[in-house]
Amino acid sequence: MPDERPLISRVGFGSGTMIAQGYGQVDEDAARGAVEAAYRAGVRFYDTAHFYGSGRSEAIVGEILQGRRDQVRLCTKGGVRYTDPTNLLTLVCDSSYDALRRFMEESLTRLRTDHVDVYLLHQFDPALTPEQQMENLQRLKDEGLARDVGFCNFGAEASRRALATGIPTAVEYSFSLLDHRYLHELSDAGARGALRITYGSFVHGLLSENFAEDHEFEPDDWRGRSRREGRSGTSGNVFFAGDAFAANVAIARRLRAVADSLGISLAAFVLALTVRRPYSDVALFGSRTAAEVEDGLRGLPLALDYATLARAGEILASANRPAENLLGL
Protein backbone atom coordinates (compact mmCIF):
# COMPACT_ATOMS: atom_id res chain seq x y z
CA MET A 1 0.00 0.00 0.00
CA PRO A 2 1.54 3.35 -0.97
CA ASP A 3 2.25 6.03 1.61
CA GLU A 4 -0.67 8.46 1.58
CA ARG A 5 1.53 11.47 2.38
CA PRO A 6 2.43 12.24 -1.25
CA LEU A 7 -1.24 12.15 -2.19
CA ILE A 8 -2.49 14.15 0.76
CA SER A 9 0.01 16.84 -0.17
CA ARG A 10 -1.91 17.15 -3.45
CA VAL A 11 -5.27 17.92 -1.85
CA GLY A 12 -6.48 21.13 -0.29
CA PHE A 13 -9.45 22.03 1.86
CA GLY A 14 -11.95 24.11 -0.10
CA SER A 15 -14.03 26.20 2.28
CA GLY A 16 -16.60 27.49 -0.20
CA THR A 17 -19.26 24.86 0.38
CA MET A 18 -18.88 24.80 4.17
CA ILE A 19 -20.02 28.37 4.70
CA ALA A 20 -20.68 30.16 1.39
CA GLN A 21 -24.03 31.50 0.31
CA GLY A 22 -26.10 29.31 -1.92
CA TYR A 23 -25.68 25.80 -0.49
CA GLY A 24 -28.55 25.75 1.97
CA GLN A 25 -28.37 26.07 5.74
CA VAL A 26 -24.97 26.65 7.35
CA ASP A 27 -23.74 25.13 10.63
CA GLU A 28 -20.71 27.14 11.75
CA ASP A 29 -19.76 24.72 14.53
CA ALA A 30 -19.73 21.88 12.00
CA ALA A 31 -17.61 24.04 9.70
CA ARG A 32 -15.08 24.58 12.47
CA GLY A 33 -14.97 20.85 13.00
CA ALA A 34 -14.37 20.29 9.29
CA VAL A 35 -11.34 22.61 9.21
CA GLU A 36 -9.94 21.00 12.36
CA ALA A 37 -10.45 17.50 10.97
CA ALA A 38 -8.66 18.42 7.75
CA TYR A 39 -5.66 19.72 9.67
CA ARG A 40 -5.48 16.64 11.90
CA ALA A 41 -5.61 14.42 8.81
CA GLY A 42 -2.57 16.14 7.35
CA VAL A 43 -4.13 18.62 4.92
CA ARG A 44 -1.94 21.72 4.78
CA PHE A 45 -3.46 23.80 1.97
CA TYR A 46 -6.57 25.87 2.73
CA ASP A 47 -8.53 27.78 0.11
CA THR A 48 -11.08 30.43 1.01
CA ALA A 49 -12.34 33.76 -0.31
CA HIS A 50 -13.36 37.23 0.81
CA PHE A 51 -16.98 36.74 -0.21
CA TYR A 52 -17.60 33.19 1.04
CA GLY A 53 -20.25 33.71 3.64
CA SER A 54 -19.53 37.47 3.60
CA GLY A 55 -16.22 36.80 5.33
CA ARG A 56 -17.33 34.03 7.69
CA SER A 57 -15.35 31.38 5.84
CA GLU A 58 -12.09 33.29 6.25
CA ALA A 59 -12.89 33.99 9.89
CA ILE A 60 -13.44 30.31 10.67
CA VAL A 61 -10.31 29.22 8.82
CA GLY A 62 -8.30 31.88 10.64
CA GLU A 63 -9.74 30.87 14.00
CA ILE A 64 -9.00 27.16 13.67
CA LEU A 65 -5.54 27.59 12.13
CA GLN A 66 -4.39 30.26 14.58
CA GLY A 67 -1.08 29.13 16.06
CA ARG A 68 -0.47 26.81 13.12
CA ARG A 69 0.24 29.48 10.53
CA ASP A 70 3.80 28.35 9.81
CA GLN A 71 2.55 24.82 9.07
CA VAL A 72 -0.09 25.66 6.46
CA ARG A 73 -0.51 27.46 3.15
CA LEU A 74 -3.38 29.92 3.00
CA CYS A 75 -5.03 30.88 -0.28
CA THR A 76 -7.73 33.49 -0.46
CA LYS A 77 -9.39 35.45 -3.22
CA GLY A 78 -10.66 38.98 -3.74
CA GLY A 79 -12.01 41.31 -6.35
CA VAL A 80 -15.68 40.36 -6.12
CA ARG A 81 -18.49 41.16 -3.74
CA TYR A 82 -22.25 40.98 -3.48
CA THR A 83 -24.21 44.21 -3.41
CA ASP A 84 -26.87 42.11 -1.68
CA PRO A 85 -25.38 39.13 0.22
CA THR A 86 -28.75 37.37 0.15
CA ASN A 87 -28.88 37.41 -3.65
CA LEU A 88 -26.22 35.50 -5.59
CA LEU A 89 -27.12 37.37 -8.75
CA THR A 90 -25.82 40.69 -7.37
CA LEU A 91 -22.16 39.74 -7.74
CA VAL A 92 -19.96 42.59 -8.99
CA CYS A 93 -16.25 42.68 -9.83
CA ASP A 94 -13.71 45.30 -8.76
CA SER A 95 -10.03 44.52 -9.27
CA SER A 96 -8.79 48.09 -8.96
CA TYR A 97 -5.78 48.44 -6.68
CA ASP A 98 -7.71 50.39 -4.04
CA ALA A 99 -10.44 47.75 -3.93
CA LEU A 100 -7.97 44.87 -3.78
CA ARG A 101 -6.07 46.60 -0.99
CA ARG A 102 -9.28 46.86 1.03
CA PHE A 103 -10.22 43.25 0.27
CA MET A 104 -6.75 42.14 1.32
CA GLU A 105 -6.74 44.07 4.59
CA GLU A 106 -10.10 42.64 5.57
CA SER A 107 -9.05 39.11 4.60
CA LEU A 108 -5.82 39.30 6.60
CA THR A 109 -7.71 40.48 9.67
CA ARG A 110 -10.13 37.57 9.45
CA LEU A 111 -7.38 35.05 8.70
CA ARG A 112 -5.30 36.38 11.63
CA THR A 113 -2.12 36.72 9.62
CA ASP A 114 0.04 39.42 8.04
CA HIS A 115 0.24 37.75 4.62
CA VAL A 116 -1.26 34.96 2.57
CA ASP A 117 0.63 32.37 0.59
CA VAL A 118 -1.60 32.68 -2.47
CA TYR A 119 -3.83 35.61 -3.44
CA LEU A 120 -6.10 35.29 -6.47
CA LEU A 121 -8.55 37.45 -8.36
CA HIS A 122 -11.81 35.57 -8.03
CA GLN A 123 -13.13 36.51 -11.47
CA PHE A 124 -12.19 38.60 -14.45
CA ASP A 125 -13.05 42.28 -14.07
CA PRO A 126 -14.32 43.56 -17.44
CA ALA A 127 -13.58 47.15 -16.43
CA LEU A 128 -9.82 46.51 -16.55
CA THR A 129 -7.48 44.79 -18.96
CA PRO A 130 -5.83 41.54 -17.89
CA GLU A 131 -2.52 43.40 -17.78
CA GLN A 132 -3.87 46.09 -15.46
CA GLN A 133 -5.32 43.48 -13.12
CA MET A 134 -1.98 41.67 -12.94
CA GLU A 135 -0.16 44.93 -12.22
CA ASN A 136 -2.49 45.55 -9.28
CA LEU A 137 -1.72 42.09 -7.92
CA GLN A 138 2.00 42.75 -8.32
CA ARG A 139 1.68 45.80 -6.10
CA LEU A 140 0.19 43.63 -3.34
CA LYS A 141 3.01 41.15 -3.76
CA ASP A 142 5.62 43.90 -3.66
CA GLU A 143 4.12 45.06 -0.37
CA GLY A 144 4.71 41.60 1.10
CA LEU A 145 1.02 40.82 1.49
CA ALA A 146 1.10 37.72 -0.74
CA ARG A 147 3.84 35.33 -1.78
CA ASP A 148 2.12 34.06 -4.92
CA VAL A 149 -0.53 35.90 -6.93
CA GLY A 150 -2.75 34.95 -9.82
CA PHE A 151 -6.34 34.49 -10.89
CA CYS A 152 -9.37 32.20 -10.98
CA ASN A 153 -11.90 31.68 -13.70
CA PHE A 154 -10.34 33.74 -16.49
CA GLY A 155 -11.40 32.76 -19.98
CA ALA A 156 -8.88 31.62 -22.56
CA GLU A 157 -7.87 35.02 -23.97
CA ALA A 158 -7.75 36.76 -20.59
CA SER A 159 -5.70 33.88 -19.18
CA ARG A 160 -3.25 34.01 -22.08
CA ARG A 161 -2.72 37.75 -21.71
CA ALA A 162 -2.43 37.60 -17.93
CA LEU A 163 0.13 34.81 -18.02
CA ALA A 164 2.12 36.63 -20.71
CA THR A 165 2.87 39.41 -18.19
CA GLY A 166 4.97 36.96 -16.19
CA ILE A 167 3.25 38.10 -12.98
CA PRO A 168 0.87 35.22 -12.11
CA THR A 169 2.45 32.36 -10.19
CA ALA A 170 -0.84 30.59 -9.41
CA VAL A 171 -4.16 29.91 -11.12
CA GLU A 172 -7.38 28.24 -10.02
CA TYR A 173 -9.98 26.62 -12.27
CA SER A 174 -12.87 24.21 -12.10
CA PHE A 175 -11.77 20.65 -12.84
CA SER A 176 -13.26 17.28 -12.02
CA LEU A 177 -13.91 13.86 -13.49
CA LEU A 178 -16.87 15.49 -15.26
CA ASP A 179 -15.39 18.91 -16.03
CA HIS A 180 -12.48 19.26 -18.44
CA ARG A 181 -13.36 22.70 -19.83
CA TYR A 182 -10.21 24.44 -18.64
CA LEU A 183 -7.48 21.92 -19.41
CA HIS A 184 -5.85 24.31 -21.89
CA GLU A 185 -5.65 27.12 -19.34
CA LEU A 186 -4.31 24.73 -16.68
CA SER A 187 -1.74 23.33 -19.10
CA ASP A 188 -0.59 26.80 -20.16
CA ALA A 189 -0.16 27.88 -16.55
CA GLY A 190 1.67 24.67 -15.67
CA ALA A 191 4.07 25.12 -18.59
CA ARG A 192 5.00 28.50 -17.10
CA GLY A 193 5.64 26.98 -13.69
CA ALA A 194 2.52 28.37 -12.02
CA LEU A 195 0.81 26.54 -9.17
CA ARG A 196 -2.35 24.89 -10.54
CA ILE A 197 -5.24 24.73 -8.09
CA THR A 198 -8.49 23.06 -9.09
CA TYR A 199 -11.88 23.26 -7.42
CA GLY A 200 -15.14 21.36 -7.86
CA SER A 201 -13.70 17.88 -7.35
CA PHE A 202 -17.11 16.65 -6.19
CA VAL A 203 -18.97 18.70 -8.86
CA HIS A 204 -20.90 20.69 -6.25
CA GLY A 205 -22.08 17.49 -4.55
CA LEU A 206 -23.00 15.46 -7.62
CA LEU A 207 -20.05 13.12 -7.03
CA SER A 208 -20.24 13.01 -3.25
CA GLU A 209 -23.88 13.15 -2.19
CA ASN A 210 -26.51 10.48 -2.81
CA PHE A 211 -28.92 12.42 -4.99
CA ALA A 212 -31.98 10.95 -6.65
CA GLU A 213 -33.18 12.26 -10.00
CA ASP A 214 -36.14 13.98 -8.31
CA HIS A 215 -34.11 15.53 -5.48
CA GLU A 216 -35.54 18.78 -4.12
CA PHE A 217 -32.96 21.34 -3.03
CA GLU A 218 -33.49 23.91 -0.30
CA PRO A 219 -35.03 27.18 -1.53
CA ASP A 220 -31.78 29.15 -1.12
CA ASP A 221 -29.62 26.52 -2.82
CA TRP A 222 -28.38 27.71 -6.25
CA ARG A 223 -28.33 24.13 -7.55
CA GLY A 224 -32.11 23.97 -7.29
CA ARG A 225 -32.46 27.27 -9.12
CA SER A 226 -30.24 25.92 -11.89
CA ARG A 227 -32.50 22.90 -12.22
CA ARG A 228 -35.58 25.09 -12.45
CA GLU A 229 -34.31 27.99 -14.53
CA GLY A 230 -31.23 26.79 -16.41
CA ARG A 231 -28.28 29.15 -16.52
CA SER A 232 -28.07 31.51 -13.59
CA GLY A 233 -24.55 32.86 -13.83
CA THR A 234 -22.92 30.11 -11.78
CA SER A 235 -20.27 28.07 -13.59
CA GLY A 236 -21.47 24.83 -12.07
CA ASN A 237 -25.03 25.19 -13.31
CA VAL A 238 -24.22 23.28 -16.51
CA PHE A 239 -24.24 20.11 -14.39
CA PHE A 240 -27.65 20.71 -12.82
CA ALA A 241 -29.76 22.36 -15.51
CA GLY A 242 -32.17 20.50 -17.77
CA ASP A 243 -31.40 16.85 -18.45
CA ALA A 244 -27.83 17.16 -17.18
CA PHE A 245 -28.77 16.55 -13.55
CA ALA A 246 -30.40 13.16 -14.12
CA ALA A 247 -27.59 12.07 -16.44
CA ASN A 248 -24.94 12.98 -13.86
CA VAL A 249 -26.86 11.28 -11.05
CA ALA A 250 -26.78 8.11 -13.18
CA ILE A 251 -23.00 8.46 -13.64
CA ALA A 252 -22.58 8.91 -9.89
CA ARG A 253 -24.67 5.82 -9.19
CA ARG A 254 -22.43 3.68 -11.41
CA LEU A 255 -19.27 5.07 -9.81
CA ARG A 256 -20.74 4.42 -6.37
CA ALA A 257 -21.09 0.75 -7.25
CA VAL A 258 -17.34 0.59 -7.94
CA ALA A 259 -16.61 2.44 -4.69
CA ASP A 260 -18.82 -0.01 -2.80
CA SER A 261 -16.75 -2.90 -4.12
CA LEU A 262 -13.66 -1.23 -2.61
CA GLY A 263 -15.36 -0.62 0.72
CA ILE A 264 -15.21 3.18 0.44
CA SER A 265 -17.70 5.95 -0.27
CA LEU A 266 -18.29 7.60 -3.61
CA ALA A 267 -16.62 10.79 -2.33
CA ALA A 268 -13.50 8.89 -1.25
CA PHE A 269 -13.29 7.11 -4.60
CA VAL A 270 -13.77 10.31 -6.60
CA LEU A 271 -11.11 12.23 -4.66
CA ALA A 272 -8.66 9.32 -4.98
CA LEU A 273 -9.17 9.32 -8.73
CA THR A 274 -8.97 13.10 -9.02
CA VAL A 275 -5.62 13.55 -7.26
CA ARG A 276 -4.11 10.91 -9.54
CA ARG A 277 -4.84 13.07 -12.58
CA PRO A 278 -1.93 15.23 -13.84
CA TYR A 279 -3.86 18.45 -14.36
CA SER A 280 -3.47 20.07 -10.94
CA ASP A 281 -0.93 20.53 -8.18
CA VAL A 282 -3.61 20.98 -5.51
CA ALA A 283 -7.09 19.50 -5.93
CA LEU A 284 -9.54 21.12 -3.54
CA PHE A 285 -12.28 19.12 -1.84
CA GLY A 286 -15.23 20.74 -0.12
CA SER A 287 -16.68 19.35 3.10
CA ARG A 288 -19.08 20.75 5.67
CA THR A 289 -18.44 18.43 8.62
CA ALA A 290 -15.56 16.55 10.21
CA ALA A 291 -17.15 13.26 9.21
CA GLU A 292 -17.24 14.33 5.56
CA VAL A 293 -13.56 15.29 5.68
CA GLU A 294 -12.52 11.98 7.20
CA ASP A 295 -14.65 10.05 4.74
CA GLY A 296 -13.41 11.95 1.69
CA LEU A 297 -9.75 11.33 2.51
CA ARG A 298 -10.21 7.63 3.17
CA GLY A 299 -9.47 6.57 -0.39
CA LEU A 300 -6.07 8.24 -0.70
CA PRO A 301 -3.98 5.35 0.68
CA LEU A 302 -5.68 2.74 -1.52
CA ALA A 303 -3.85 1.10 -4.40
CA LEU A 304 -6.28 1.31 -7.33
CA ASP A 305 -5.57 -1.56 -9.71
CA TYR A 306 -5.89 -1.48 -13.49
CA ALA A 307 -9.27 -3.19 -13.49
CA THR A 308 -10.73 -0.60 -11.11
CA LEU A 309 -9.34 2.30 -13.11
CA ALA A 310 -10.62 0.75 -16.33
CA ARG A 311 -14.14 0.40 -14.88
CA ALA A 312 -14.11 4.02 -13.78
CA GLY A 313 -12.80 5.12 -17.16
CA GLU A 314 -15.54 3.25 -18.98
CA ILE A 315 -18.21 4.90 -16.85
CA LEU A 316 -16.76 8.37 -17.30
CA ALA A 317 -16.41 7.88 -21.05
CA SER A 318 -20.20 7.92 -21.25
CA ALA A 319 -20.46 11.27 -19.44
CA ASN A 320 -21.75 14.22 -21.43
CA ARG A 321 -19.14 16.75 -20.32
CA PRO A 322 -19.86 20.44 -20.92
CA ALA A 323 -17.78 21.97 -23.69
CA GLU A 324 -18.78 25.58 -23.22
CA ASN A 325 -16.41 27.87 -21.32
CA LEU A 326 -18.69 30.19 -19.37
CA LEU A 327 -16.09 32.16 -17.48
CA GLY A 328 -14.25 35.39 -18.08
CA LEU A 329 -13.32 37.15 -21.29
pLDDT at 118 over 70: yes
* Range in 2-6, 156-160, 262-266 with the lowest mean pLDDT: 2-6
| SS3 at position 172 | strand
pLDDT at 329 over 60: no
pLDDT score, position 78: 96
Cβ-based neighbour number of residue 40 at 10 Å: 11
Over range 217-225, report the average pLDDT. 78
What is the percent of the chain with per-residue pLDDT over 70, rounded to a whole number? 90
Answer yes or no: are the C-beta atoms of 72 and 44 closer than 8 Å.
Answer: yes
**Phi and psi angles of residue 118, each rounded to the nearest 5 degrees, phi first:** -140, 130
Task: Give domain limits for the chain.
Answer: 5-210+264-303
The CA distance from 286 to 269, in Å, is: 14
**Phi and psi angles of residue 207, each rounded to the nearest 5 degrees, phi first:** -110, 30
Beta-strand relationship, 282-286 and 195-199: parallel
Q: Which amino acid is at 28?
A: E
Answer yes or no: are the C-beta atoms of 71 and 43 closer than 8 Å.
Answer: no
Is 53 or 320 the better-scoring residue by pLDDT? 53
The CA distance from 206 to 122, in Å, is: 23
As a three-state string, the secondary structure of 71-135 is HCEEEEEECEEECCCCCHHHEEECCCHHHHHHHHHHHHHHHCCCCEEEEEECCCCCCCCHHHHHH
pLDDT at 295 over 50: yes
Per residue in 162-208, pLDDT tens?
999 999 999 999 999 999 999 999 999 999 999 999 999 999 899 99
Over range 121-138, report the average pLDDT. 97
Domain 5-210+264-303, CATH: 3.20.20.100
Closest residue by Cα to residue 170 from 198, 150, 190, 146:
150
**Phi and psi angles of residue 282, each rounded to the nearest 5 degrees, phi first:** -135, 115
Residue 267, CA distances (Å) to 35, 114, 295 in order: 17, 35, 7
Per residue in 18-56, pLDDT tens?
766 566 677 899 999 999 999 999 999 999 999 888 889
pLDDT score, position 89: 66
- In 193-305, which ranges are continuous DSSP H helix? 222-229, 244-262, 266-275, 290-296
Cα dihedral across residues 70, 174, 254, 232: positive or negative: positive
